Amino acid sequence: MDIQILFCLLLLYNLRVISLSFTRKILFTTDSYIKEFDVESNTVTILADHADRVHFNHDVMRFRYPSQNYTLQTIFTTGINPGGIAIDNVLGHVYFAHDNTKISRCNLDGSNAVDIHTSLNGPFALGLDVKNGWMYFSENGVPRKMVRSRFDLSQRQDIYTQSFVAYSLDLDLDEDILYWIIDESNEIKSANFDGTDIKTVMNLNAHGGKYDNIAIRISESYIFFTEYGKLFRMNKTTATSPSLLFTDTKNILSLYLYEHTGKKRHSV
Ligand SMILES: *[C@@H]1O[C@H](CO)[C@@H](O)[C@H](O)[C@H]1NC(C)=O
Ligand SMILES: *[C@@H]1O[C@H](CO)[C@@H](O)[C@H](O)[C@H]1NC(C)=O
């Protein structure tokens, strides 16, 4: 798959509490759209169509969500192969992997951009455990690895070495577990934050999967993952019998979970 078509997306969450509505949404991106899937009503809405953008392959963009205005605002232009993006909401920093070698950081408005590390081996998937000060990322260059380090890339610890690339990871901050999805081997893997207890949570091949397992997100109760344009959800505890929520005509490249109450970001 052409990883160039993955693009960077930054959501600024509106933390307003709307007590009467409890709508739960999943935002996802394809190569030219940002869409919103409403879990309760089973409907899909196009939030942004960026097919007319020349440089969206290499932009960190933001928009307010939810809002009436889904105009994408570019805050930073990355190097080649932009990958994961993660937010330190305490310090107001955006971290992103790009340029085949770099993890960089800027403020939420794109100011004060700084390269934190410039000689990584194909950094891509990225996640932050802000509370404990650990960053998790994949290195997709050979040897391919899942890694953790401090936010300044110090205290690097290689968690796992694998044969295939990982485009997406997510952190279960309730249970201190790292999850990642491996496209070519069709596996969902997990490890404790400290790198112990590495498991194959699910072999998607057995479920019929065959490549294009790009994105994964973890909520309080569920594991969400994609298989080309299909969005699946399965019970996090049992990790069996995924149910199909939605099928897009295009490959789904990234997922964000949103709960309207504003109390939790990742609890659908
Ligand atoms: C929508 O958002 C964009 C980008 O933030 C801004 O430039 C524009 O003025 C906004 N439009 C309205 C109608 O608020
Ligand atoms: C997931 O499975 C466990 C074990 O069978 C069950 O207790 C739990 O209620 C299930 N969660 C959901 C959200 O269905």
Cα gap 210→58, rounded to integer Å: 28
pLDDT band at 208 (very low <50, low <70, confident <90, very high): low
Cα gap 35→258, rounded to integer Å: 13
Q: Which residues line ligand 2 (CB under 6 A)?
A: 221, 235, 237-238
Instruction: Report percent pLDDT > 70 for the chain.
Output: 84
Pocket test for ligand 2, best of 235, 236, 240, 268 (most atoms within 8 A of CB): 235
Ligand nearest to the CA of 72: 1
Pocket test for ligand 1, best of 64, 71, 75 (most atoms within 8 A of CB): 71
pLDDT of residue 266: 32
**Residue 116 to residues 7, 48, 79, 94, 143, Cα–Cα distance (Å):** 20, 31, 14, 12, 21
Is the confidence at residue 125, as pLDDT, over 50?
Answer: yes
pTM of this prediction exceeds 0.85: yes
Is the confidence at residue 129, as pLDDT, over 50?
Answer: yes
pLDDT digits (tens, 9 = 90+) for 168-191: 999 999 999 999 999 888 899 999
First to last CA, the chain: 29
pLDDT of residue 172: 96
Ligand nearest to the CA of 240: 2
Take residue 167 and report the two structure tokens written for it: 């485009």
Cα gap 181→184, rounded to integer Å: 9
pLDDT digits (tens, 9 = 90+) for 131-155: 999 999 999 999 999 999 999 999 9
What are the backbone dihedrals phi and psi of residue 51, each rounded to the nearest 5 degrees, phi first? -65, -25
pLDDT of residue 45: 95
Take residue 26 and report the two structure tokens written for it: 């999943």
DSSP 240: -
For residues 259 and 208, the model is more confident at: 259
Ligand nearest to the CA of 64: 1
- On whether the CB atoms of residues 81 and 3 are closer than 8 A, the answer is yes
Q: What is the 3-state secondary structure (H, E, C) of 13-26?
A: ECCCCCCCCCCEEE
Is the confidence at residue 16, as pLDDT, over 50?
Answer: no
pLDDT of residue 260: 56
Give the chain's mean pLDDT.
86
For the residues 210-233, what does the mean pLDDT come to?
A: 91
Pocket test for ligand 1, best of 14, 59, 69, 109 (most atoms within 8 A of CB): 69
Cα gap 110→72, rounded to integer Å: 13
Atom of ligand 2 nearest to the CA of 238: 2
pLDDT of residue 183: 87
Atom of ligand 2 nearest to the CA of 222: 13
- On whether the CB atoms of residues 103 and 95 are closer than 8 A, the answer is yes
Coil/strand/helix, residue 199: strand
Nearest alpha carbon, ligand 2 atom 3:
237
